[in-house]
Homo-oligomer: A and B are copies of this chain.
């Protein structure tokens, strides 16, 4: 039986999960690939920390050059985080003739165009199932299984940390900062959770999905994004009263006007698939012109679910499928067409707004006057008597453009009768 030699670059949480499967389930790897799969190098600067994996002598090294020089290593699993060193290593691996599997979404969102182009020139492949939604096989689904479809939309919960935070706030009635502290304690949130909670992580993943499903080439920094750090417990309560949950949604929606892309906390009708996603799960609802609606839910992070995706790609690469997929999918290539991305200000939607206003006559007229002058009509209003001189006023709008809404919202915030802590959130429309 032939042997495929594999190198692992980055021996952190995910790398440890991958190494465990390769070393502890060698029989499974052999059965799935029809070959012997040998982990020959694990490269990391930290050679001392015990990861709980029993490694054969000489495999662990801090010298990447050993991998680059070993022509018998044909597949490399690249699990270095960040974008600078990861890019350099990725290029080195490709240039030394290795097919690469990676889980690094920031790297692909930032340098996908360069890396894929280089891989194509060199005749190597890049597989990246683990880069989006961890264990959920969404890259294979969109790129291969559902390839008969013209995709119409993707509505997704792509950050488990944010979903954990939102659903904990919702269920336990505790505020944002307390939940973040709890998430950090449980290991669901990083010590510095900024990239998760401000929507960066979801926007990077959406960039990859938008390329895969729609051929859109977009700088993730240009995707409008609002993080869950903008969500207040009060808004959860009003949303609940109105029949909605709040979820951080990453949306790609194709229409005749182009492709709409954004990441933001949105009011999602209770009882729908996306509103029902609880805890650290990810979920993706894809609509294709033939298949209709397909929904996926699973763990989007964590050692084992991410290792499942990485090793799935590794099997695909060893078997030779990944190379065929890479070649025909032409990602980030001009041959793939480039779907036009819509001006975010033109995107229409319904909105939820909350203001703290003076409790006196004329205030409602003043606010609704601003909305009216921006062409925004009101669907419903909630104002409870809370017995204070400043009262919360919640307004649900009919469809309006994001630009008009942003302008009206800024204008209302500047009114003397409106106090701090104003909030404006999208309302997710349930598609037909």
Contact = CB atoms under 8 A, between A and B. Distances in A.
A174 interface: no
Contact of A316 (B21, B144, B298, B311): B144
Contacts of A17: 290
A292 interface: yes
A312 B137 contact: no
Interface in A313-348: 314-316, 319-321, 324-325, 327-328, 336-337
A289 B20 CA distance: 12
Interface stretch (A78-86, A300-308, A363-371, A413-421): A300-308
Given A295-B297, A324-B321, A325-B321, A308 B148 contact: yes
Given A294-B298, A298-B295, A307-B290, A145 B150 contact: no
A392 interface: no
Contacts of A308: 146, 148-149, 288, 290-291
A135 interface: yes
Given A137-B146, A145-B137, A298 B304 contact: no
B34 A328 contact: yes
Interface in A1-30: 17, 21, 25, 28
Interface in A135-154: 135-137, 140-141, 144-150
A172 to B, nearest CB: 17
A296 interface: yes
B140 A141 contact: yes
A325 B312 CA distance: 13
Contact of A135 (B33, B294, B305): B294
Contacts of A233: none
A129 interface: yes
A146 B291 contact: no
A166 interface: no
Contact of A292 (B141, B147, B299): B299
A191 to B, nearest CB: 25
A17 to B, nearest CB: 7
Contact of A293 (B148, B290, B299): B299
Interface in A247-294: 273, 276, 288-294
A71 interface: no
A32 interface: yes
A17 B290 CA distance: 9
A286 to B, nearest CB: 9
Nearest to A289: B304
Contacts of A290: 17, 21, 135, 304-305, 307-308, 311
Contact of A147 (B148, B315, B320): B315
Which of A297, A309, A315, A321: most chain B Cβ within 10 A? A321
A148 B327 contact: no
15 contacts: A137-B140, A137-B294, A141-B141, A145-B309, A146-B308, A147-B312, A148-B309, A148-B311, A148-B312, A148-B314, A291-B304, A291-B309, A292-B304, A294-B297, A295-B298
Given A292-B305, A321-B325, 13 more contacts: A17-B290, A31-B336, A31-B337, A135-B146, A137-B294, A146-B308, A147-B311, A276-B276, A292-B298, A295-B298, A296-B296, A321-B324, A324-B324
